[in-house]
Structure 1
Amino acid sequence: MDSYRIKVVETLKKIFKDKSYSNIVISNDIRNIDLRHQALYRKSVLGVVEHLMFIDWIINQMSNTKTKKMETDVLVVLRLAVYQMFFLDNSYENMVVSESVQYIKDKGNIRASKFVNGVLRNILRQKKELLEKMEHLPREEYLSVKYSYPAELIKRWQLQFGKNKIEEVLSANNAEAPLEIRVNNMKISRDELLKIFNEKGIIAERCKYAHKGIRILNPIETDKTEEYKKGLFSIQSESSMLAGQILNPAEDSLVIDMCAAPGGKSLNASEIMNNTGKILSRDIYPGKLSLIEKEKQRLGLNNIKAEAYDATVTDETLIEKADFIIADVPCSGLGIIRRKPEIKYNRTEAEIKEILNIQLKILENAAKYLKRGGMMVYSTCTTNKEENLDIVMEFLKHNKGFALEDFSDKINDFPDAKKGYIEIYPHVHGMDGFFIAKIKRL
């Protein structure tokens, strides 16, 4: 088996067996992959996780031993092979089978290698028939298997977006997420950085909505470029960048970031403020604060103070002290499935309901810290209305001294910006699913 495929298998074993987050495991393991294979490695790992229910359905059609009872090595090798057969162009199917069998042989399991060979050869022979069988499943089951989404989540999205839109929604959330970066405007302009990229053969373009955003169209090792080391840019999704753009904190002001780690929104605010004033970047997890410290040094920022604090607990020392507040609250993450596909399997209705109380409590605390005339953004990386507009309206109902603020001058093509909020959807805008509301204390 090719070395990159072996690393894909080893990465997937960590994700499935240890229940590790795919993005974290990939970031660690990709360092050992040759640059030529990094894009395919990432695509393969995320692809298997993304299409897991489809893959397991195919395997279970051809195997008497079901996936739930298989040895880890056998199961992961089969999953990768099926992904390559059905979702990768030019995957050289016979080679995929041979290398999968060899991997198990090299583990010293001859019996299992014969099993893997038999299952994969049967799948190869009956590919067309398997797909036809899938298409004849009952509608709800077909959607669940084809797009690899739990029936519970499909039902939720059908109610929100409509049955006629559901396949478009599922397909968009399974698409490969682009690499987007935020320009450090204190050191370089977006056009200047684009010119440098062009000269180096890096294909890039302006983001459509984020004024500081660039989308990289061909894969690069961003953290190894001179421009990254010099602090000219940071990796951040376009949707996430928009929170800072919409808040637009003024120079020499006090900003509180309620749930800051890994720090992208605090760092963006610091750049917007030209490294003036003070940003208090708080997070409940002390171990994550080092990420903020490391990034502010790389970017040349010194107005950020990172500290551990639970955003659900009121800090009496900050009452009415802040000019601007970022309340990017914990959420179900249903807007970033493209980047963390395991999210779709791990979110239950009970968990979503539990998180609503946390979100409202953080928003209420943020409101206490805001000066009269001050502004805050409430944001999430989910498309779930209960966590988004419903939370904001519930807050406003019980807090008459606050109102949504028109920010249509900060972003184009979002009519609801006039009402003080925007809802971003992958199937509509091609960005991560996000919600951003701007709230003013009157």
Structure 2
Amino acid sequence: MEVKLNVRRIAFEIINKVEFGKSYSDDLINKYVDKFEDKRDFNLLRKIVLGVLERKYTLEYIISMYSKTKLKKIDPKILIIMKIAVYQMIFLTSIPDHASINEAVNHSKKLTKWNLSGYVNGVLRNISRNKAEISKLIDSTKDLEIKYNINAGIVEYIKENYNDDFDSLLDSLYNELPFSIRINENMMNSNEVFEELQSLGMNPKNSDITNINMLIQNPESVHNTKLYREGIISIQGEGSTLAVQVLDPRPGSKVLDLCAAPGTKSLLIAEYLKDSGIIIANDIDISKHKKIVQNFNRIKFSNYELCGFDASIYQPEMKEEFDYVLVDAPCSALGLIARKPEIRYRRSMETIRELRDLQRAILINAVKYLKPNGVLVYSTCTYGYLENEQQADFIENELNMEKSYFDYKGNSLNRIQLFNSKDNTDGFFIARFIKP
């Protein structure tokens, strides 16, 4: 007899792996897409995991107010159990408090050699009795780390960069973003794809950012559709798609995707080339090459080579070899917080400065790989001048590249920043240059 999966126990396992490992929540959650008989259970799992991770500091603050044991001395696994329960009680009110508390108490009995169920029960019941007061405290707190659940240094950095839109930007990072797919127009036109997605109950909506993305609902089964299997659609964010549209590689050209994993941009570049050019897809993490190959195979594209060199180390054999180079640089990924909430507390200003230096080393090499009149596009999925505007200025002023302009909604731009708050999509920076 098949055992019914326990949503909260699975949520606990995922959160534990994310908080005490290097895993990302979306990768772990997606392993359960087809595991539940009732889709509502999968949706609840996703909501709990993402909610607990995005409210980490707030939840720990609440527990600290009602626990006689200091946070640092609470068994880490017990603390996760309590955070799951508190999240449900404070932020997911459709679930009765007693159900959340009972599940936490029963789980705690099985988890450690110490019987901490009485402690868990006492703390959670006390929190349940004081929910109204807790909500007022959270709403009125002046502690920005607790309010926004982001490393304090990063909060100040974002405020420094976007002071006028500071609150709306950080508030928007709690919003669930729409799920984006991208169309391979070499295989089917947008209208036909739209109708097919409608018939599958995915309620498509055309993107406001690109002309080949659509936003869909009920995306859990998208991988199983004929559209996906045959390469007609791919899962790709609007900013990621826009970066390749800004690159705009011509058929017959030679293109280098210098930091290619997971390969969605390489895939779109391949669709631009139409089997009459070549793309070199490079990523130092060779374990990710399999996914890149799978993507190329889906669209039956063979004009590619895979490389696994360190992009920050110069490859002399590549000097002036390429018509186009895309540097979608390793970055702090602050623009992905709404999808990967663990980024909120995995990043620091020290991390950002280290990434800035790595990005510059990569850019110095990227320019050398371009032919004269070759095009460079630099992109990140983050916010802040250190990784974005300052790097674009570095490309122009220190690497002697010329600004190159692209059209975006009727405006001629050299660079663009997309925002969660204004554009309802991932934070993404893109800049275009040409080699004189």
Give the equivalent residue in structure 2 for 1:234.
234
CA contact (8 A) 2:381 2:427 kept: yes
- Cα distance in 2 for partners of 1:17, 1:371 equals 45
Give the Å deviation of 1:23. Answer: 2.4
2:49 aligned to 45, 48, 67, which one? 45
**Helix, strand or coil at the partner of 1:326:** strand
- Cα distance in 2 for partners of 1:71, 1:298 equals 46
Q: Deviations over 1:182-226 (max 9, x none)?
A: 112222122211101111222111111112101112342221222
- Cα distance in 1 for partners of 2:282, 2:199 equals 39
1:7 aligned to 2, 6, 10, which one? 10
- Cα distance in 1 for partners of 2:7, 2:140 equals 36
Give the equivalent residue in structure 1 for 2:253.
253
Q: 1:320 to 1:76 in 2, by over 3 A?
A: same
- Cα distance in 2 for partners of 1:6, 1:274 equals 47
Give the Å deviation of 1:173. Answer: 1.4
Q: 1:419 to 1:300 in 2, by over 3 A?
A: same
Give the equivalent residue in structure 2 for 1:422.
416
- Cα distance in 1 for partners of 2:385, 2:392 equals 10
Asked whether 1:403 is paired with 2:406, we answer: no
Q: Which moved more, 1:254-263 or 1:187-196?
A: 187-196
Correspondence list, 1:92-107, <5 A: 92-107=96-111
Give the equivalent residue in structure 2 for 1:378.
378
Name structure 2 gaps, 5 residues minimum: none
Give the Å deviation of 1:167. Answer: 2.1
Normalised TM-score (structure 2) = 0.94
Q: Which moved more, 1:52-61 or 1:224-233?
A: 224-233
Give the equivalent residue in structure 1 for 2:430.
436
CA contact (8 A) 1:104 1:110 kept: no
CA contact (8 A) 2:334 2:427 kept: yes
- Cα distance in 2 for partners of 1:11, 1:284 equals 27
Give the Å deviation of 1:147. Answer: 2.1
CA contact (8 A) 2:5 2:36 kept: no
Asked whether 1:357 is paired with 2:361, we answer: no
Give the Å deviation of 1:287. Answer: 1.4
- Cα distance in 1 for partners of 2:189, 2:43 equals 28
Q: 1:179 to 1:135 in 2, by over 3 A?
A: closer
- Cα distance in 1 for partners of 2:199, 2:294 equals 29
1:57 aligned to 57, 61, 67, which one? 61
Give the equivalent residue in structure 1 for 2:367.
367
2:86 aligned to 82, 85, 106, which one? 82
Give the equivalent residue in structure 2 for 1:156.
157
Q: 1:287 to 1:428 in 2, by over 3 A?
A: same
Give the Å deviation of 1:378. Answer: 0.5
Name structure 1 gaps, 5 residues minimum: none
- Cα distance in 2 for partners of 1:67, 1:153 equals 23
Give the equivalent residue in structure 2 for 1:329.
329
CA contact (8 A) 1:322 1:370 kept: yes
- Cα distance in 2 for partners of 1:50, 1:318 equals 43
CA contact (8 A) 1:383 1:424 kept: no
Q: For 1:424, give the aligned amino acid.
A: L
Q: For 2:49, give the aligned amino acid.
A: V
Give the Å deviation of 1:308. Answer: 0.8
Task: Quote the sequence identity (%).
Answer: 33
Give the equivalent residue in structure 2 for 1:221.
221
Give the Å deviation of 1:178. Answer: 2.0
Q: Which moved more, 1:374-383 or 1:391-400?
A: 391-400
CA contact (8 A) 2:90 2:135 kept: no
- Cα distance in 2 for partners of 1:127, 1:56 equals 15
Q: For 1:49, give the aligned amino acid.
A: L
Q: 1:99 to 1:197 in 2, by over 3 A?
A: same
Report the aligned-residue RMSD. 1.9
CA contact (8 A) 2:327 2:376 kept: yes
- Cα distance in 2 for partners of 1:28, 1:204 equals 24
- Cα distance in 2 for partners of 1:370, 1:178 equals 36
- Cα distance in 2 for partners of 1:110, 1:99 equals 17
Q: Deviations over 1:260-294 (max 9, x none)?
A: 01111110111122232100000111111111011
- Cα distance in 2 for partners of 1:109, 1:81 equals 21
CA contact (8 A) 1:204 1:218 kept: no
CA contact (8 A) 2:181 2:234 kept: yes
- Cα distance in 2 for partners of 1:206, 1:135 equals 36
Normalised TM-score (structure 1) = 0.93
Q: 1:136 to 1:323 in 2, by over 3 A?
A: closer
Give the Å deviation of 1:336. Answer: 0.8
Give the equivalent residue in structure 2 for 1:91.
95
Give the equivalent residue in structure 2 for 1:185.
185
CA contact (8 A) 1:404 1:419 kept: no
- Cα distance in 2 for partners of 1:33, 1:115 equals 32
CA contact (8 A) 2:158 2:383 kept: no
Give the Å deviation of 1:166. Answer: 2.5
Q: Which moved more, 1:248-257 or 1:313-322?
A: 313-322
